[in-house]
Amino acid sequence: MADSLYRVMLGRRPTVAERSSMALRLQIPNQFESILSHMLDSPEFQTMGLPLKLADATKEWTGNRVFFLHIPKTAGTSVRLALIDAVGMPAFEFYDRNPKVEASWRESNYNFWPLWVGHQNIADFPQELNGLTIFRESRSRLLSTYRQKNREAIADNPHMLDEVRLAVEKNHSLQILNTPFHIWLNNPVGGEMIDYFVSSKSFGPGSMNSKEFKDYVNGLNEPALETALNGSLGRITHAAWAHDGPAILRAISGVSGSNVTELPRENVYESQKEFIPQILNKDTVATLNAIQEKETLVYKAAHEQGLVPLLSKSEADDLFEITAKRLGFTFT
């Protein structure tokens, strides 16, 4: 057993001491999972075993190499699953599901992996990959983000492997569940959309949510912001609006080089009856409109890159009103 496990996991034979230690541990019930977990977390596996296995898995790779910049609440889970199927390779995912592994990838040069996805600043994706992203009408995305936090307060996230982080997130969501939308809107959770597309490279990997980076973005005047957005969006080769299913399929097909004809339906929530109804008064709508106006700079830059058509005011308002009604918001 020891010989096989060391060969498979670390690519070497165990020492006499390692073989003896494992033999003793395996005599204790339910120790195999603990042994395997210890090997996966070991510096030897992450610096030697893991890179060798990944390099071997991709050494004959001839397909497209892609990153998906997943802005929250833009049908991203469905897009991610469709991309994995289209590329034919599991994705490296920036979702804090296993912080130790994510930190190892951030610190290492694993740019040969063909598919990267996640809620991450554009600077954190390898330069050699073609980019895909999905946009959504700004006010609708904020309403949906708030309701997602409401759902997280009453349901566990099965993908979050860090139990301590899961407890913190759930406690935070419980606070939001009891916070009216207009108050939450003054300090929404998660990065603003512009934060994903202004490069955080000079601030270091994973710095998008740092105060230093946010202060930097907020300090940019409009011409400087437009320049930064145009430069970053030049890395995105395909995009679509979240409400345009056919355009999403074309974007996934184009960036992956495969013919994608169906988008999996994931994270679809039909009923919102368990949530407290929320009222969108004049002041709240004005705040939402101001956020939408600021994010229009991203949409304009994407349009100039030929990625998406601009929404007319009536189109945007219709999407906003439909989303509000579906998620239990009413207008005064």
Asked, for residue 46, whether it belongs to a domain, the answer is no
Q: How many residues can be counted in the chain?
A: 332
CB half-sphere exposure, 57, CA atoms < 13 A: 15
CB half-sphere exposure, 130, CA atoms < 13 A: 15
Extract the residue ranges of the chain whose pLDDT is less than 50: none
Same domain, 88 and 59: yes
Q: Report phi then psi at 125, rounded to 5.
A: -95, 145
Same domain, 14 and 149: no
What is the per-residue pLDDT for 189? 59
Partners of 115 in beta bridges: 66
Q: Report phi then psi at 46, rounded to 5.
A: -75, -25
Say if pTM beats, i.e. exceeds, 0.85. no
What is the per-residue pLDDT for 157? 55
Same domain, 17 and 147: no
Could you tell me the two tokens for 86?
A: 């289209």
Where residue 244 sits, what CATH number does that domain have?
A: 3.40.50
What is the per-residue pLDDT for 273? 58
Domain that holds residue 37: 2-41
What is the per-residue pLDDT for 80? 93
Same domain, 120 and 26: no
Same domain, 166 and 24: no
Closest-CA residue to 80 (of 66, 65, 68, 63): 68
Same domain, 80 and 141: yes
What is the per-residue pLDDT for 40? 85
Q: How far apart are CA 160 and CA 92, in angstroms?
A: 15
Same domain, 157 and 35: no
**For 235-281, what is each residue's pLDDT tens digit?**
999 999 999 999 999 999 999 999 999 998 766 555 555 677 899 99
Same domain, 7 and 100: no
- In this structure, how many other beta carbons lie within 10 angstroms of the beta carbon of residue 161? 14
Asked, for residue 13, whether it belongs to a domain, the answer is yes
Same domain, 260 and 180: yes
Strand ranges (E), 27-161: 66-69, 92-94, 115-118, 130-135
Asked, for residue 47, whether it belongs to a domain, the answer is no
What is the per-residue pLDDT for 143? 94
Q: What is the DSSP letter of 155?
A: S
Angle between helices 138-154 and 163-177 (to 10 degrees): 110
